[in-house]
Structure 1
Amino acid sequence: MVERDRLHMSSREFFENLEQYFLKLIMGRQRRSYTDYAMIGVMFFASRFYRMATQFRIWLYDKRIVRNRAIGCLVVSIGNLSCGGTGKTPVVEVFARTLSQKGRRVAILSRGYRSKKRTWREKIRQKFSSEKMEVPPKVVSDGEKLLLDSAYAGDEPYMLARNLKGVVVLVDKDRVKSGLYAIDEFETDTLILDDGFQYLRLKPHINIVLVDTTSPFGNHHVLPRGTLREPVKNIRRADYIFLTKSNGGNQLRHLKSFLRRHNHRAEIIECCHMPQYLEHAFQPDDKLELEHLKNLKVAAISAIANPLSFENFLEGFGAKLTLREHYADHHRYSETEIEIFAHQAKLSGARMIVTTEKDAVRIPASVKTELPIYFLRIKIDILSGQENFDQCISRICFLSD
């Protein structure tokens, strides 16, 4: 068992390092050798094929050669063009909470990125079972209580389920299946398709696309040469565009003009991610005001797509960062990693460890550290386009199924 865990850790570390290497190549942060330039060339040509395949798939759906499903329920898709880092989870949360408060019976459908899969024994048993029963989706929350931990649910579905009372959260790659399950088992009338812009099988009534104002489209290349999942021009499918992580300045004029050239009908809503307070990772009732960070020596640890924005928040509230540690996006921490970091943090003079909410759900609850671990609770503030947001909510609430 120990040997198997060690092999799992080493393979995970290898693939995370490989992912980091390719991200550095994409972002231009890698010192270029002949091998790097060759790899960039391979990635460029691969991205051309990926782009063609993506556009061909969309064309098949546009021409109704491949048909998407309408399942007799309102479907709101919230997604993005790029891979991670747009601040999607807080936006999904604010939509789910607002719609639930307006009287809609809401279910969030997630694919559960990097959640634990069934074991190979379970898969074989299911495959060769005489009872060909369809495996139901994972129920992270039935709207009343949490039913799965973050490892099996995935960090983002778990976060949403923990923060949203009265909202069902389901995880399955087949969102048509999980949508039908939500309707049959929980009588939901509104489905929020988390990370749904590329999920064309389920027909949305409203398409919401998020664009990170700090890095809107990376280097404008699609995978694997860039971070785009599909070409920028496909933002024309959006009904609403959320500009996230905005600072409220006038420098977004060019971005808005660029978006208007590709989509002249979508309403644009500008928002920012605002820290609310610090919350203890394992004691939900232990909350601290952000003023507590003033002149406090802090160690920051994170495994998100854009760790600098998180660290800038801490420094903006007066924290003095004595130690920083970055892991690959969605990295699941081991007890040893956290305990070593905590020891180094104490040696650096830190009085507290601070992480993100997504990271906090991936830290083992059994970990033992001398320093307390807190996470930064974030909420969405709409800076401009509040009337468009209200209109969007009203549109969803009064649409017939």
Structure 2
Amino acid sequence: MLRIYAILTGQSAGVISSVFRIILMPLSWVYGLAMMARNYFYDRKILTSLNLDCGVISVGNIVAGGTGKTPIVIWLAKHFRNSGYRVAIILRGYKRKAKSETGIVSDGTKTLLSPEESGDEAFMIALELPEIPVLVSKNRYKAGIEAIRKWKTQVIILDDGFQHQQLKRDLDIVVIDSTRPFGNGQMLPAGILREPKRSLQRVDLLLLTHTNSISNLSQIRSKIETIAGQKTIFESQYHPTKLYKLGDPQDLSLESLKNQRILLVCGIGNPRTFVHTVEGYQPSHLELMAFSDHYQYRRKDILRIQRRASIMKADIIVTTQKDEQKLRLYADQLLILVLAIEVRFLPEHGRSIKDMLNLYARTCLPL
């Protein structure tokens, strides 16, 4: 899995990587043409976007896999809630076991669906934001109508909404992982681009994540500015906030990671950022077991994890909040710790983005 990821993100060179990409290039051309045609139809109003009677903010990306959208969604929701607005979050609910077209994961007072019925990210957000309604649906417009009807929602935040042009938004935010902005530069499936890079020209705001993980940030910014034009770009980093045992919310010291032999287990889009985060606590030895994004763990995977931990003589097994609920079923078989993170902006960027959001709220949101 990591080998394929390295090829698609441009981190792996050599003959095998080149052959792999060449084989997939015809499919990428077909996919790219389809995306360009779709964007053209929306740009020319041949296809029209539907309007909701509230503010709509999309947080999305231009590549497949993790860029760090979900912590940004949580940060935005907290900002608007703390500013006195009624907020709802809508996700597609990737890989959820749907019983209905629209699912209410949380009504802002309690969680109503299981992790399997919600999807991992939606359930995680519902736990993190218990006072904010969270919905899942492939039809974001219908879900938005439901949110307005039930809670008189003033602002809806779309998680992974950049490609969902069926719903009109007032603010289009794209999140870019600064450690691999465009992968190898190719469209899916030969690369990780979900649409052409020039699509960034239609965004309102760009957020760079993991900026503390690279040394050539100014070059990355310059490259993005060349493609996107004069867009506002903010920089952010992810920092651990707490560490706790799976199934036990009591906090442990983050310093307990220091000088330990650690096995990392995750099914996220960009596992290397997880590695970089834990490396900051100076473990004596670190190994990674990376599964595919949104992976549903099974009994045989738990046995593999146990064997790997035994072979490397691991002191601690650590996973992410995204993986937490899918591993919870095996909490009695596996001693595992969960590392929680949050997004933080540089001080001057944090003030600027809050000023911009407050201006948006005054001019665009219903009272």
State the TM-score, normalizing by the size of structure 2.
0.92
1:82 aligned residue (63, 73, 76): 63
Q: Name the counterpart of 1:6.
A: none
Q: Name the counterpart of 1:329.
A: 293
Q: Which amino acid aligns with 2:261?
A: K
- What's the CA shift for 1:279? 1.9
- Larger radius of gyration between Structure 1 and Structure 2: 1
**Structure 1: how far apart are the matches of 2:326 and 2:224?**
36
1:138 aligned residue (85, 103, 121): 103
The reply on whether 1:65 has 2:46 as its aligned counterpart is: yes
**Structure 2: how far apart are the matches of 1:400 and 1:313?**
37
2:218 aligned residue (247, 253, 263): 253
- State the SS of the aligned residue for 2:126: helix
Aligned length, in residue pairs: 363
Give the 3 Å change call, closer, same or farther, for CA 315–23 of structure 1 in structure 2: closer
The 4+ residue runs of structure 1 with deviation greater than 6 A are none
**Structure 2: how far apart are the matches of 1:84 and 1:105?**
30
**Structure 1: how far apart are the matches of 2:311 and 2:19?**
42
State the TM-score, normalizing by the size of structure 1.
0.84
Q: Name the counterpart of 1:189.
A: 154
**Structure 2: how far apart are the matches of 1:235 and 1:344?**
42
**Structure 1: how far apart are the matches of 2:299 and 2:89?**
31
Q: Name the counterpart of 2:335.
A: 372
The reply on whether 1:174 has 2:139 as its aligned counterpart is: yes
Unmatched segments (≥5 aa) in structure 1: 1-16, 119-134
The reply on whether 1:358 has 2:322 as its aligned counterpart is: yes
Q: Which amino acid aligns with 1:387?
A: R
- State the SS of the aligned residue for 1:214: coil
- What's the CA shift for 1:357? 1.1
The reply on whether 1:113 has 2:94 as its aligned counterpart is: yes
Q: Which amino acid aligns with 2:341?
A: I
The reply on whether 1:50 has 2:26 as its aligned counterpart is: no
Q: Which moved more, 1:251-260 or 1:172-181?
A: 251-260
Cα-to-partner distance string for 1:315-342 (whole Å, 9 max, x where unaligned): 2202233653221111111234224423
**What root-mean-square deviation, in Å, do the aligned CA atoms of Structure 1 and Structure 2 show?**
2.2
- What's the CA shift for 1:32? 4.3
Q: Name the counterpart of 2:130.
A: 165
CA contact (8 A) 1:315 1:321 kept: no
Unmatched segments (≥5 aa) in structure 2: none
**Structure 2: how far apart are the matches of 1:302 and 1:151?**
17
**Structure 2: how far apart are the matches of 1:38 and 1:292?**
44
Q: Which amino acid aligns with 1:69?
A: L
**Structure 1: how far apart are the matches of 2:245 and 2:113?**
20
Give the 3 Å change call, closer, same or farther, for CA 226–248 of structure 1 in structure 2: closer
Q: Which amino acid aligns with 1:315?
A: E
Q: Name the counterpart of 1:122.
A: none
Give the 3 Å change call, closer, same or farther, for CA 321–141 of structure 1 in structure 2: farther
Q: Which amino acid aligns with 1:294?
A: K
* Equivalences for residues 2-401 of structure 1 within 5 A: 23=5, 25-27=7-9, 29=12, 32=15, 40-118=21-99, 135-247=100-212, 251-284=216-249, 286-321=250-285, 323-346=287-310, 348-369=312-333, 372-383=335-346, 384-398=348-362, 399-401=364-366
**Structure 2: how far apart are the matches of 1:329 and 1:116?**
16
**Percent of residue pairs identical:** 33
